[in-house]
Amino acid sequence: MTKYQQFHLPSGTPVCVAEMPWMESVSTGIWAAVGGRHDPVRLTGLAHFVEHMVFQGTTRRSARRLNREVESAGGSMDAYTSEDHTAFFVRGPGENFGGFMDVLLDLYQNSIFDPNVILKERDVIAEEISMYREQPSQHVEDLLCRNVWPQHPLGQPIAGTEKTIERIEAGVLMNHAAKYFGARNSVISVAGRITTEQVEKVLTRLLPDGLPRDVRPTHRPFAIPPRRLPTVVSETRDIDQVQLALAFHAPGRLHPIQPALRLLNVMLGENTSSRLWSELREKRGLCYDAGSDLTALQETGLIHIYAGIDPDKYPQVLKVIFTELQRLATKAVSPATLRAAVDFSIASGRMALESTSHQMTMMAECLLLYGRPIELEAVHRRLRAVTPEQVRRIAATIFRPGRLTAATVGPEIDSQQITRAAAALR
């Protein structure tokens, strides 16, 4: 059974450990509570640019040496930037934990942000931006975000734009890391073939005084704009499919309705037993892929529906989607259907715990985003306590035309079809 423990560095940074002695690997990571939503407007993409640059050399190691030390020890290193946090992590054989932690702390604290390397990496990021823009299924999501969070940092692309990343220079990157990659904003998480005593010993050697002081980033909360009708945006491209993305504003991750929202999403489109998959693909063969997912930020969130559609079948797909949304909002699901969603949620969460990477991420995000460890049994109890009527009420609250933003990329279509189809939700 996994043993969870937590301690703090001298400067106050929390360290969480999941001891999994039956595993061969260890996953270790550092999370910083700063992400794309904290970027200045003129410097959109800054947090993501910093994520790239910390791998490009430190005062102790070149970029090549950083990679070689991890990979020659059997490990792999990666990172990502989200709306509200940035994460850096390594996974590899448990006996090499000390070396992995040394590399992570080095890139987290000692990156040099060489101006010549910045020029090269700016081109790399520009290629990344271009790559996503040229993928219709990805670009439709960026188009959606810009309009679902209008005139707000959450609506800006996390990678930035070619124009904003041109403004990002060495001093700005260094200031971001120095300001936010410190004691109060950071969480260290370790899971796998390791003991808490071993983690403490390594961190005491590498960080005898803990991480340096830093400041908390501030952000502008998002408020849902009052609307009666959906917002619909379309981009015409000469491709075979219409890429469709729908998003309904939902409560944030701290809202008590989250368990019911989680189960609503499972039943709507999270798996192949869901209504969208069953109705669109299995029964009618209207598309190859369709589903839904859930975004939960601090003060806001989304239920997001996606599908790739033949233009000739587009009206049929819209009708099916909005019919299913209206059914969920007006008629409570059966106890058996709800029980199946609960069982799926609990089982998939339990199976994910077999991964050291998942354990590492789960612990870090609980501390970073909720400020405390969250016991899985408590989560399971809240899921089991949800009633069919609670699911119906949250569906009726969320699935309303004024909460809907829609985006399409593909052949030219009548954009008003979505507005007309959404009228079924009144």
Tell me the C-alpha distance between 158 and 146, whole Å: 11
226 has pLDDT over 80 = yes
Mean pLDDT value of segment 319-330: 97
Task: List the domain range (segments joined by +) for residue 28.
Answer: 3-206
In this predicted structure, what is the pLDDT of residue 225?
86
> Does residue 155 share a domain with residue 293?
no
Q: What is the pLDDT of residues 262-298, one digit of tens each?
A: 999 999 999 999 999 999 999 999 999 999 999 999 9
CATH number for the domain spanning 26: value is 3.30.830.10
Q: What is the pLDDT of residues 85-119, one digit of tens each?
A: 999 999 999 999 999 999 999 999 999 999 999 99
Mean pLDDT value of segment 196-207: 98
> Does residue 257 share a domain with residue 193?
no
Averaged pLDDT score across all residues of the chain: 96
Residue carrying structure tokens 């959906």: 230
> Does residue 308 share a domain with residue 273?
yes
> Does residue 312 share a domain with residue 405?
yes
> Does residue 295 share a domain with residue 408?
yes
Give just the sign of the alpha carbon dihedral 159, 162, 165, 169. positive
Residue 216 lies in a domain: no
> Does residue 236 share a domain with residue 194?
no
154 has pLDDT over 80 = yes
Q: What is the pLDDT of residues 361-387, one digit of tens each?
A: 999 999 998 888 888 899 999 999 999
Tell me the C-alpha distance between 265 and 397, whole Å: 14
> Does residue 323 share a domain with residue 191?
no
Helix (H) or strand (E) holding 189: strand 186-192
pTM of the model: 0.95
- Report how many domains make up the chain: 2
In this predicted structure, what is the pLDDT of residue 231?
95
In this predicted structure, what is the pLDDT of residue 426?
73
Tokens (6 digits) for 416: 């008003």
Instruction: Residue 340: name the closest of 305, 383, 283 by CA.
Output: 383
Tell me the C-alpha distance between 210 and 197, whole Å: 17
